[in-house]
Amino acid sequence: MVQIWTRKKRRRKEFTFTILSNNAGEVVTRFRIPKWIVYFLTAVPFVPIILLVYYMTISGNQQAELELLAQKLEDETTKNEQLQQIVTVLEERSGETKAYLEQLSALENRMRTYINELPSVIEPMGGTQILVDEEEPIQGDTNVINQSTELIERFEQTLAIVDEVSEELQYTPTAWPTIPNTITSEYGIRSDPFNYATSFHSGIDIRGSYGTPVFAAADGKVIFAEYYGGYGNTIKIQHNGTYTTLYGHLSKIDVDVGDTVKKGDIIGAIGSTGRSTGPHLHYEIIKNGKTVNPKPYFIFFDTEGD
């Protein structure tokens, strides 16, 4: 039994090949080949096919993945271009807004300069103020540029008015004509210091020592600069078509007729020439040909007149 099992086992694991010759005298040749070699040789032709199928499957999957990645890349590129456009627009708006803010800042500085030059009688207040229509509330960030444009236009309109007022103010005698600013004799009815009779005083007298500087009270042109009877050494300055100022009893005159002067320029010095009891400045403001009280002009610009 052992031999039979062995044969059966060999038959299962080997193939026996017999080679017969046409010559009966030749020896019959037999040889055995293990089955696994036969199976291997049979399977070898199928390996390239299997590899080809595998490669095609892998290649198809990779192609699909590449197409998906390409689509994602295109989508991301589109989003990036859109974001770039948004950034560009925001940068442009940011630049415009910055320019508007710089312009507003410059305008505000001009406003502050004008406000600081206004007479001190006006109560001090902080900042600048622009009227806003209550029926048109501020919308939001999308209207920042439009709002800035509107504010700038309002500032410019206000500044145009301020420019006119400032120019007019330069030609309005609001500056003190000397220092110290102590009035010793008011404008109007008074007792004459020489004969003690009641008389009309057409200006104000300001205390001062000999040689104290006398200043132009506003921009203007010198129209008189010489000795003038009871006024002694006198200067008259024409300020536009409305005002003329007179400075009397001077110890010296530092300007000539025809000179153009600015508010605050030194034009002479306090003295006691003419009809005077001591060193002081006699100062008059003539508005439209008539003397007015100079005192209100030191603290407030009166557009209505006296």
Structure-block tokens of residue 77: 């590129």
Question: For 39-53, what is the mean pLDDT?
Answer: 78
pLDDT over 80 (residue 272): yes
**What phi, psi does 277 have (nearest 5°)?**
-100, -5
For residues 306 and 275, the model is more confident at 275
Contact yes or no for 281/205 (Cβ under 8 A):
yes
Distance CA 98, CA 51 (A): 67
Residue 6's pLDDT is 41
Report residue 252 as tokens: 């010296």
Mean pLDDT, rounded, for 211-234: 96
pLDDT of residue 124: 42
Contact 269, 212 (CB under 8 A): yes
Does residue 13 or residue 209 have the better pLDDT?
209
> Using 50, 70 and 90 to split pLDDT, how confident is the model at 66?
confident
Q: What is the pLDDT of residue 138?
A: 46
Task: Output the pLDDT for position 205.
Answer: 95
Distance CA 50, CA 284 (A): 121
Confidence of residue 3 (pLDDT cuts 50, 70, 90): very low
Task: Identify the band that residue 110 occupies on the pLDDT scale cut at 50, 70 and 90.
Answer: confident
Q: How far apart are CA 232 and CA 265, in angstroms?
A: 21
Predicted TM-score of the model (pTM): 0.50
How buried is 100 (Cβ within 10 angstroms: 0-12 exposed, 13-18 middle, 19+ buried)?
Answer: middle
**For residue 279, is the peptide bond before it cis, meaning its omega torsion is within 30 degrees of 0?**
no
Both tokens of residue 111?
Answer: 């406003």
Phi and psi torsions of 45, nearest 5°: -65, -25
